[in-house]
Amino acid sequence: MKSRFASAIVLATLLCPLTAIAQPTAQTSGALVIVAANGTVIRPNDEAHAIFFIEEQDKDKAAAASRVNQKTRQGLEILKREDPKAKLTTRGYYSYPVYSGDSILPSSKARQIVGWRVGQYVEATTENLAALPTTVAAAQSVLALNGLRFVLAEKTARAADDELIADTYRHLVERVGSIAKAMGRNPADAVFDTVDYEGSGNYAPQAQPLMRAAAPAAKAMGSSVEEPNFEPGETTLNMRVVGRVRFK
């Protein structure tokens, strides 16, 4: 009797692993899976936006404005000479009064206008980055450099966007394949229900006789400026995509 009981225990022990293996796995047919992926493309910046400005102060508003107008014109001539293909835009013309006294302290007396400040901004957009230090140094003999930023030119950004979309989608497909394998499914059984790309589920200057004649005037405006140093850097483009995948 004891021998039969012991044999039954041994048999049950041997069958336990087989019973566990025989248990059904989770069913994934028709399962909807939300998958997110990211793409990245890096491109060196190939366009510069330089902001120059000039400001004059004088008791006579007309005198200050005249000097600003003259220097802005001279600055534009220099920029056109140094970089003929640059896109130039004038903007931000301003003039406002300068008052006597300390404007912070309260006073019952009306403040008197003692002068005027007049200024204007000039923006230069160029893809000629090799000539940029020379161009900026030349313009700084008249105008002041107020700001400089480097970006991707429009045609470069469009080409990079095409590659970014392809890179992002490739990563999405790779992740779907990994998820399918983890679920014990064939990646071919995965069918995209939705692909959401909103991610909701982001010089050498040409010398010209006319410009050579204008050089003495530019020299008289101020001492020459040492060329600055610029490093355009690069732009990193990122994209996020969210896919809804259903398994057959």
Residue 222: band (very low, low, confident or very high) from pLDDT cuts 50, 70, 90: low
Q: Which residue has the higher pLDDT, 230 or 14?
A: 230
Q: Is residue 50 within 8 Å of 123, Cβ to Cβ?
A: yes
- Give the pLDDT of residue 7: 53
pLDDT tens, residue by residue, 184-203: 888 888 888 888 887 665 32
Q: Is residue 241 within 8 Å of 194, Cβ to Cβ?
A: no
**Average pLDDT over the chain, rounded to an integer:** 81
CATH architecture for the domain at 47-152: 2-Layer Sandwich (3.30)
DSSP assignment of 129-165: GGGHHHHHHHHTTTSEEEEEEEE--HHHHHHHHHHHH
203-218 b/e (C-beta count within 10 Å ≥ 16 → b):
beeeeeeebeeeeeeb
121-132 b/e (C-beta count within 10 Å ≥ 16 → b):
bbbbbbbbbebb
- Give the pLDDT of residue 228: 80
Contacts of residue 192, Cβ cutoff 8 Å, sequence gap at least 6: 243, 244, 245
Q: Is residue 205 within 8 Å of 104, Cβ to Cβ?
A: no
pLDDT tens, residue by residue, 3-31: 554 454 444 555 555 444 444 456 778 78
**Percent over 70 (pLDDT), the chain:** 76
- Give the pLDDT of residue 20: 45
- Give the pLDDT of residue 248: 85
Residue 227: band (very low, low, confident or very high) from pLDDT cuts 50, 70, 90: confident
Q: Which residues pair with 192 in a beta bridge?
A: 245
pLDDT tens, residue by residue, 47-58: 999 999 999 999
Place of tokens 């589920």: 201
Closest CA to 143 of 42, 246, 218: 218
pLDDT tens, residue by residue, 97-145: 999 865 555 555 677 889 999 999 999 999 999 999 999 999 999 999 9
> What is the residue type of 106?
P
DSSP assignment of 176-227: HHHHHHHTT--GGGEEEEEEETT----------HHHHHHHHHHHHHS---PP
Q: Which residues pair with 123 in a beta bridge?
A: 51, 89
- Which of 121-125, 206-210, 243-247 comes out lowest in average pLDDT? 206-210
